[in-house]
Structure 1
Amino acid sequence: MSETFPTSILGELATLTMGQSPDSASVNSVEAGLPFLQGCAEFGARFPEPRVHCSPPLRVAKSGSSLISVRAPVGTTNQADQDYCIGRGLGAVLAKPGVADDVFLLHAIEANLAFLHRRSQGSTFLAIGSKDLYSLPVPALDLATQQQIAAILSTLDETIEQTEALIAKMQQVKAGMMYDMFTRGVPPDGQLRPTREQAPDLYKKSSLGWIPKEWEVFLISEVFEIQLGKMLNKLAKTGKWSAPYLGNRAVQWDFVDCLAIEEMDFNPVERLKFTLLPGDLLVCEGGDVGRTAMWRGETEDCFYQKAIHRLRPKLDKVLPAFMLRFMRFARDNGYFREFTSQSSIAHLTQEKLGAIPMLLPKSDEQGRIIDRFDSVDELILSELLKLSKLRQQKHGLMRDLLTGRVRVSELTDV
């Protein structure tokens, strides 16, 4: 692991506690005993978010300990902000007093998770034992240097958490704004309409509830051409007509994840049928049913597979960016439920997707609604980019500080 620093092993710097599953009768929701963590499902951004307690506790992670998932997914970490009872899915690492710093050890573990991942491979159920954790290589540094490194990385962690909290707040603002946009809209004066209680004459009743008088309700199939993608199969990956395509993983809310784009064969006829054009909407048939992204021409000559519906406007009076936001509103307000088939796995067929009613203001009002969303999305995107850079910065700095490529003194001098 280390290029410059000598290394030690985790077991020499810390006391390790491996979790144990308590008797179900001792687990309770009346806060008797200690907060109980069965595994990493209760992990938060930095500290755990326990749901139940355990009395009496069997295995205890002391406050300050690094908590690490020892069963799939191996290596997920958190820090104990109080004493916890831990189940068999977790291990706890507590620095030996005067020898190591808890926060430093947490970063050292995170920096060498590849070691634990290698140890966990080969079994039917991915897991590591106490010997694997005990033998994890960590830098052998004096306590003062450990604490200096911990302070530098913790400062970055705090900035990352603040950025994440700001993004979450913006997302909440957007969620609140969404209800207003699709129930009140934005008339030419640029202000929200008064509510129906304030001005009942501005609204009319529809199959989707009370809506502004100027708005209409259409079925999706009346406004969009709907085309399901190509069936995925092994024979479709010969390489003869290989081309990029989108599957369910690539279609996220509001955007296409280009890292999830794969390739398979699309012959000339299929290319005409399944091609994507800027402004096409992509709707997930299964999984997170109705999840929608808009294709913005992220790459040339891209296609899509059968798990995805493509919506392409039939009418000029619908703006794809408006429909993109409406789909999220529709999902959040349960519009898809009665149209989703539940035979085994929930899915949204082409016929049922087409039968879903949609709101349609005049195109100029759609534009004003889009502008409202775009202004918030730009702020969110800016913070997401900042967050990505901070995480990259932390990753690089953690690697440099924990290997000795960059010495603490160099940073403190600056």
Structure 2
Amino acid sequence: MVTFNAIPEDWGFQPIGDYVEKMVGGAPLKPSDFSTSGVRVIPKKAVQFGGKIHFDIKTFCTSEFAESNKRNVVDNQFLITTLRDLVPSGPTIGVIGVLSEKGSFILAQGVYGLKTKNVDDGYLAQVSNTSWYRGEMRKVFVGSTQVHIRNQEFLDVKIPFPEQQKIAAILTSVDEVIEKTQAQIDKLKDLKTAMMQELLLPSEKSGVGTKQSAAALSNSERYIPHTEFKDSPVGRIPKSWGVVPLESLVKADKKITYGIVQAGPHCEGGVPYIRVSDMSSRHLTKKGMLLTSSDIAKKYERSAVCAGDIVYALRGMIGHVHIVPSELEGANLTQGTARISPSEAINTNYLLWAMRSPYVTLQNELEAKGSTFKEVTLASLRKMQIAVPSDSEQQFISATLSSIELKIFAVEDKLEQSKLLKKALMQDLLTGKVRVKLD
């Protein structure tokens, strides 16, 4: 959180309006004014945190509407902000973004363009992303369900104006790293999705196969695509693959079972129990888990898990699945989760990926019971159809997908580090705790 309780003596607070040469408001667009082409519209949702204007989708209005509303047209000489929000808390109201795209744009109602003078636009955008600035906006917005800020009251808000260009350049450079890192994550996730489709359910159309022997796993030149396919309960699959119910892939002495422990008070030093909410993390880990007493754990030991078991979410986050690590040996399952103990007939890591596959997701959607609260029954889970390739293919598929996932995790960690750096820099630079030298 950036605070301005104490700033250098040579800094001063000035009204935003002192640095705004021109302020342009939004146009009263009606549904009939929108079109599939024409002049781009900047909607309220395009103004988000981060210092830039983000377009999730391209929205247009007719050229005729834009021609008759020229006073609401802006270009990249303007900063963009929104002074109206449909959310009572006004999470992005007053946030300022830099419009980097070239061309003419028409503003939607509640969106404003600011042509500035004697101020670095990047600095103004960065200040507007601080929690301190958010507090200043909350002081002046009015309304209950639909909040807004009056133009003059926005322009009267005072913010500090230090060595702007240097500060803006430093923070913007970190923003660029964050943006590029996020783009890298998005590409890796797209690759992961595509590879899951092609490896877990290869088809004639994709032409993707897998290496056919353990020796081939280390030799890319011996990659042999499948050429013969057959129909199956999960779709077209390679002729050499089989499809079996999940219950046939578990250990004979350990049927697929569900959790029966009810989440209760934390018992320090007790036995961890795995909840549906624990399934949202990258991996299952004891850190942060609630613990139950040894007596309760013993009472419900038939729902305890062993290292190497697979835990599956039957409700809430249906389909979230994890392998139990050694640190959770003996942990209990709470209601809404299920235990699967893979037999030697299946590679555990492959089964993990198969249960994340599109064809299993589809089966979940078809089998889920309930209206507002969906749940997959244990009977449906046991009959879940799983495509089973050769041992070497299972190894290759799981190794390939796990490798991509580890890359995603590594880049996500890099992204988090960059965000923490940005937060620290904002606190140091925007408060004058650390001064930057001017050229």
What is the TM-score when the length of structure 2 is the normalising length?
0.73
SS at match of 1:39: helix
Q: CA RMSD in A?
A: 4.1
Deviations 1:31-58 (A, max 9, x none): 2444141435999994322442245467
Alignment of 1:75 with 2:92, yes or no, is yes
Which residue number corresponds to residue 24 of structure 1?
Answer: 31
Please name the residue that 1:138 is paired with: 159
**Identity across matched positions, percent:** 19
Q: Secondary structure at the match of 1:315?
A: coil
Q: Deviations over 1:296-337 (max 9, x none)?
A: 35778755543x423322412223321221122235873433
Residue 245 and residue 65 in structure 1: after superposition, are their counterparts in 2 closer, same or farther (change >3 A)? farther
* Contact kept in structure 2, 1:115 and 1:136, CA below 8 Å: no
AA at the equivalent of 1:4: I
Q: Deviations over 1:67-113 (max 9, x none)?
A: 4584436138654335544556x554625312x22221111111235
Aligned partners of 2:321 and 2:355 also within 8 Å: yes
Contact 1:94 1:102 in 2 (8 A): no
What are structure 1's unaligned runs of at least 5 residues? Answer: none
Aligned to 1:186: 211
The one of 424, 428, 431 aligned to 1:403: 431
Change (3 A) 1:114 1:239: farther
CA deviation map 1:149-177 (0-9, x unaligned)? 11222222222222222222222332332
Equivalence for 2:379: 351
CA distance 1:67–1:285, shift in 2 (3 Å): farther
Partner of 2:114: helix, strand, or coil? strand
Choose the corresponding residue for 2:149, options 129, 139, 143: 129
Shift in Å, 1:395? 1.6
Tell me the distance in 1 between the aligned counterparts of 2:41 and 2:377. Answer: 44
Q: Take 1:107 and 1:331, find their aligned partners in 2: how far apart are those partners?
A: 45
Query: What is residue 227 of structure 1 aligned with on the other side?
Result: 257
For the pair shown, the structure with the greater C-alpha radius of gyration is 2
Residues 124-155 of structure 1 deviation map (CA, whole Å, 9 limit, x = unaligned): 648563488556553222xxx21221122222
Q: Provide the C-alpha distance between the structure 1 equivalents of 2:311 and 2:53, rounded to a whole number of angstroms.
A: 37
Partner residue, 2:206: none
SS of aligned partner of 1:283: strand
Q: Is 2:261–2:333's contact at 8 Å kept on the other side of the alignment? A: no
The answer (yes or no) to whether the contact 2:249–2:343 under 8 Å persists in 1 is yes
In structure 2, the partner of 1:215 is 241
2:430 aligns to what SS in structure 1?
helix
Aligned in 2, Cα 1:392/1:254: closer, same or farther, shift over 3 Å? closer
Q: Which residue of 2 aligns with 1:158?
A: 176
1:47 and 2:53 equivalent? yes
Distance 2:178 2:364 in 1: 36
1:253–1:292 CA contact under 8 A, matched in 2: no
The Cα shift of 1:269 comes to 4.2
Q: Provide the C-alpha distance between the structure 2 equivalents of 1:74 and 1:256, rounded to a whole number of angstroms.
A: 33
Secondary structure of 2:369's counterpart equals: coil
Q: Does 1:7 align with 2:13?
A: yes
Once residues 58 and 107 of structure 2 are traced to their aligned partners in structure 1, the CA distance between those partners, rounded to angstroms, is 13
Q: Closer, same or farther in 2 for the Cα pair 1:362/1:124, shift >3 Å?
A: farther
Q: Residue 360 of structure 2 contacts residue 385 of structure 2 at CA under 8 Å; is this kept in 1?
A: no
1:319 and 1:363 in contact (8 A); partners too: yes
Contact between 1:280 and 1:310, CA under 8 Å: does it hold in 2? no
* Map of 1:291 onto structure 2: 320
User: Higher mean Cα deviation, 334-343 or 61-70?
Assistant: 61-70
Q: Does 1:111 find its partner at 2:130?
A: yes
Count how many residue pairs are aligned between Structure 1 and Structure 2. Answer: 396
> Which position in structure 1 is the counterpart of 2:116?
96
What is the CA–CA distance in structure 1 between the aligned matches of 2:310 and 2:27, rounded to whole Å?
48
In 1: Cα distance, 2:155 partner to 2:273 partner = 44
Q: Is the 8 A contact 1:75 1:116 kept in 2?
A: no
- Structure 1 pair 300–337 and aligned structure 2 pair: CA distance change class (3 A): closer
Q: Which runs of 5 or more residues in structure 2 are unaligned?
A: 203-208
- Contact 2:350/2:397 (CA < 8 Å) preserved in 1? yes
Q: Deviations over 1:212-252 (max 9, x none)?
A: 4543322123324433345767xx34869987655444423
1 CA distance for matches of 2:123 and 2:290? 43
Q: What letter matches 2:120 in structure 1?
A: D
Partner amino acid, structure 2, of 1:7: F
CA contact (8 A) 2:86 2:146 kept: yes
2:395 paired residue among 358, 367, 377: 367
Q: Is the 8 A contact 1:280 1:294 kept in 2?
A: yes
User: Helix, strand or coil for the counterpart of 1:406?
Assistant: coil
| Correspondence for 2:194 | 176
Do 1:42 and 1:51's aligned partners in 2 also have CA atoms closer than 8 Å?
no
Q: Could you state the TM-score of these two structures normalised by the residue count of structure 1?
A: 0.77
Q: Counterparts in 2 of 1:228-307, with a 5 A limit?
A: 228-230=258-260, 236-237=264-265, 245-252=273-280, 255-256=283-284, 263=290, 267-269=296-298, 272-287=301-316, 289-296=318-325, 303-306=332-335
